[in-house]
Every structure is written in C-alpha cells, then in structure tokens.
Structure 1
Amino acid sequence: MEPAEVVEFATVLPGAVAFNEGNVSDTYRGQVLRADMSTANAILKDVPIKEMANELISFVLARQLSLPIPDLLLAQVAPPDLPATKGALTRDGRRLVLASVDVSVPSITFRYTQDVPGRARLLAALTAWPPLGRLYGFDAWIANVDRHPGNLLFGSGAEAWLIDHGYAFTGPAWACSALDPSAMYRHRLAEWLTSSLTIDGREMRARQAGALEVDLKLIDVEAAIRAAHADRLLAPADVRALSGFLSARVNEVARLASSALGTPVLI
C-alpha cells in the first residue's frame, strides 16, 4: 500500500522561543510557513539526523494506520531565526528541524500531575480509548522504547495524539546490527499502563494488536521511507536494514504486544 501521506516541507518564521523544561531535545515554540502559504503554530525540535528520520518514518506509518498523530513537517530555518545545529544542512546554509503542528492538548503526565482529583477519570478514559490495542501493536512493530506518559497527549473525551517517536527502531542512534525483528525490546506502555487494564481489557487489546498485522502487511515500507524523505537522510545501508526489520517484524506484532499486555498470544 503506497502511503497517502508525504511529509510536507515548511519554513520556520522568525520569533521562535525555546522551552526545554523536561525535554531531552532542543525544543522551541514558533510558527511555520506551510507549502500552501498558510501559517501554523508548531513545536520545533532540533535533533540529530537519524532521530529526525525515526520521527518522520513513524509519522508516515502512523498516518497509514489511521492512528492520531499531529502533522509533522520538515522545516528549514535560517541561523538568525533559530540556533539549530543538529539537523542536515540545506544548500543555502539553512538547517532542517522537525515541526510538529501544535494541537494544544496536554500530555498524560501534565494532566496527572495538575489534576489530582481527576486522575481516576483520566485513567478510565485512557483504558477505554478505542484504538489502545492498535497503539500497543504499533509500538511493538516500530520498537518504540519511549512511550512514556509525556509522549501521549490526551484531551477531553477520547481525543488523543501520539507524539515524539525519536526513540523508535530501538533508539535515536540505532545500528543496523542491533535491529532484530524477533527481539522483545522495551515496551513502555507495559510499565505504566498495562496494570490498569482488567484481564478482559488486556485480552481485548491483544486481539486488536493481533488484528493490526493484517493492515501492516499492506504497507509498502520502502515507499513509506521515501514519503518521509528518510531515504535522503539515512545511509543506503540503514534504509535497507530498517526496511527489512519492519517487514520481517510484522509477523511478531501479536506476540510482542501480547507480552506487553501480559496475555497469552491469541490466535
């Protein structure tokens, strides 16, 4: 299945402001000019090239699976407008940064710490979130080792957004030799969410995750990497290794997600 989503290019406008509280990356709030000449508020991240590729590929894959993820743009920025140092350089001396369109929805971490009386309601809404099993499967497939509560935005009702996939494919500086399609890498949802699910809830989510394999087999991974422009960011050997890893890992998703949910593999 060819990806319908191709990562859009944008330009960072002057006036971005740093906010690094609790963030690993150099992070800014600012505005970007999109390809259609509209502007958007965005979270800007200056990250190394491989981590940038992780984010872009994960975005395209999530969109293909209809998982909620904010628009992610590949934005160029002039040195006077933002002191970026880690992304690739363009021919005219600008840096590439990630621009995630700001959806203005708080993270699980923020809501949990700021609304103590509402914690039970938040947890109930999260465990009832309809695509939760698909998220368990998705994180197992892409070997996302960093789905902590700050990397899942959750608003009123069932509004949710997946963010920050720089630690996909085992981490931000993965090596080809370390990509094992059958390996059970760290699955962070197992550490902070699984215990809040009932036994029946875990089994239902495991079935959802297992059913995701059908959708994954339809995805053209190489086309997704191209749609993310990651074939221009990564070395050819890295592209081949990552494509092979994701393609082979499809058949492991049910097992890996079931393990993260603490349930037997369901046939």
Structure 2
Amino acid sequence: MDDLLIGTLLPGAVPIHRQNVNPVWRGNVTLGQIRRQMYVKAVEPRTLAVEVICALVGRSIGLPIPRPALVRVTDRALPGVIGSMVFFGSESVDNPDLKQWLSRDPDQAMDQLSQWSKLIDAGCFDEWSGNADRHGGNILYGGGSNFALIDHSEAIPRNLQVADPAPANLLLTYAAGDQSPKTLDVLIKKAKTSCQPFAGASVRDEILAILKGLSDAPTVDSLMAFLHQRIHALMLLISTRIGHAQSSLELQKK
C-alpha cells in the first residue's frame, strides 16, 4: 500500500514546538523491514480521516504533499500514551516553513511563491477541501520552486456546506491580488484547468475501509461525499473569490 504508509513509532521521538493545535513529534517509524523519519501527531478520529483523505487526494492530482501514514504509538515510544493509539504520520521533509523565509527575505519568498507553477492548483485544492488554514507555517519551502503542503487537519470543516465558500483562501487571494480584469480572466482559465482532475480523484476502497475502522463508516462516507458534491459548485466559488480578492497575504500564523 505505497500511497498510505503503515508503521510503528520507535522510542526517541522529539517534540516539535511550533504552536501546533495538536502536539507533533518527529521520530523514526518502522515500516516493515525499513525505518523512516516522520512527523506524527495525535488527532481525533475524524481529523485522522480528513488528514489521510486530503493527503491522498492532493497527491493524486499532483500536489507536493508528503505521503501520509497511520502510525501505531504505544507508551513505550511516547510516555503518557494509554495502551496503543493510532497517530497521523507524514513523511519528514527537511525544508523550513515559508514563515521562516518570510522573516529573513520576504520579497524573495513572495516572488518565488508568485512564480510557483502549482500556486493556482494548491489554491483550488484548498477551496475544494474548504481549508481556510493555509498559512506560512504549513507551506514548506526549500528554495526555487521547491514547495510542499502539509497539515490539512482543518480541511472539510464540520459546518461548511458544499456550496459555501471556505472562510478564507490565502493562496487564491494572493494569486489574484490587485490584478486587472484581463489578468483575472487568465487566472479563471488556469483554475478551470486545475480543477479538471478533481472529479477523477479518489481514495482506494481498502484505504477507506481502514479509515472506517478507525473512525466510522458514516463519517468517512460524509467526507468523501463532501468532496464529490462540492465539485459542482467549485468554479463559481473560485470565480467569486478571485473576482473579489484583496492584494494582501497574511501568511504569518495568527
């Protein structure tokens, strides 16, 4: 199951202090006969399913999202864990987050972001998944066009209706900026191209079965139904957002 990794956390994980809503550790995870460094975090069952689904769907449409994992964690690996728990895991990416680049050289960082070939793709994906939590702390940047998207725990929010806009979309807002109507027309065309693969994106049945066992079937079915149904309203949502975008980009974590 190459698209979803399944492993066990080894002792020695180090906590990552980045003002995370959910505590995060970086440690070694055994995957069969191999060992890989990952970020792991404890989340409630629905959020676990959201993280896995968004990572898999995003990767399937070509976005640079680290491979997700289900990681078994015991009190031997992390003192305080009761019995055995399943954490969400993500392959470790060594790049710093964009927030650090913004603090050192904001002009260069924003220039590279504006030239990133996946900027519109990522913004459309965030609108599709209802993810208003994209900020400089969950965009990793390694220089040039080397970007990666992490942390989708706030995607597919419980109270968001399929035809309603995400509360915010910083990437599309930035891409539109204070552009002329002609440039906005070009962005809309790019967005239509970006959204074309969404209808064919899916998660394999065996992975959905695993998630249903960790969460429950109605929850997982509702998450997938949200994505499928939202496609019908997506271009209207994106067009409205791009047409009314503001020029500022608040990528610093609030």
**Equivalent in 216, 222, 246 of residue 241 of structure 1:** 222
Say if 2:50 is the partner of 1:49.
no
Say if 2:113 is the partner of 1:126.
yes
Q: Is the 8 A contact 1:133 1:207 kept in 2?
A: no
**Equivalent in 123, 131, 136 of residue 149 of structure 1:** 136
**What is the alpha-carbon distance in structure 1 between the residues aligned to residue 60 and residue 23 of structure 2?**
28
Q: Where do 5+ consecutive residues of structure 2 fail to align?
A: 246-254
The alignment partner of 2:200 has SS state of coil
The one-letter code of the counterpart of 1:188 is N
CA shift, 1:255, in A, is 1.9
Distance 1:228 1:64, change over 3 A: farther
Residue of structure 2 in register with 1:20 after alignment? 17
Superposition RMSD on alpha carbons, in Å? 2.6
Aligned sequence identity (%): 26
Residue of structure 2 in register with 1:96 after alignment? 86
Residue of structure 1 in register with 2:98 after alignment? 108
Distance 1:151 1:203, change over 3 A: farther
Q: Where do 5+ consecutive residues of structure 1 fail to align?
A: none
**What is the alpha-carbon distance in structure 1 between the residues aligned to residue 184 and residue 31 of structure 2?**
41
**Equivalent in 121, 134, 152 of residue 165 of structure 1:** 152
The one-letter code of the counterpart of 2:197 is D
The alignment partner of 1:67 has SS state of coil
Residue of structure 1 in register with 2:164 after alignment? 183
Say if 2:4 is the partner of 1:32.
no
Deviations 1:58-96 (A, max 9, x none): 0110111010011221111121211465xxx8xxx4111
Residue of structure 2 in register with 1:66 after alignment? 62
**Equivalent in 211, 229, 236 of residue 210 of structure 2:** 229
CA shift, 1:205, in A, is 3.5
CA shift, 1:11, in A, is 1.0
CA shift, 1:242, in A, is 2.1
Residue of structure 1 in register with 2:252 after alignment? none
The one-letter code of the counterpart of 1:156 is G
TM-score, with length taken from structure 1: 0.81
CA shift, 1:150, in A, is 1.0
The alignment partner of 2:90 has SS state of strand
**What is the alpha-carbon distance in structure 2 between the residues aligned to residue 258 and residue 34 of structure 1?**
43
Distance 1:243 1:136, change over 3 A: same
TM-score, with length taken from structure 2: 0.85
Q: Would you say how many aligned residue pairs link Structure 1 and Structure 2?
A: 244
Distance 1:202 1:55, change over 3 A: farther
Deviations 1:167-208 (A, max 9, x none): 0102xxx2xxx3521011212316973465744665444322
CA shift, 1:155, in A, is 1.6
Residue of structure 2 in register with 1:209 after alignment? 191
The alignment partner of 2:144 has SS state of coil
The alignment partner of 2:8 has SS state of strand
Deviations 1:99-133 (A, max 9, x none): 211111111111112x1xx2111111101100111
Range moving further from structure 2, 243-252 or 196-205? 196-205
Distance 1:76 1:180, change over 3 A: same
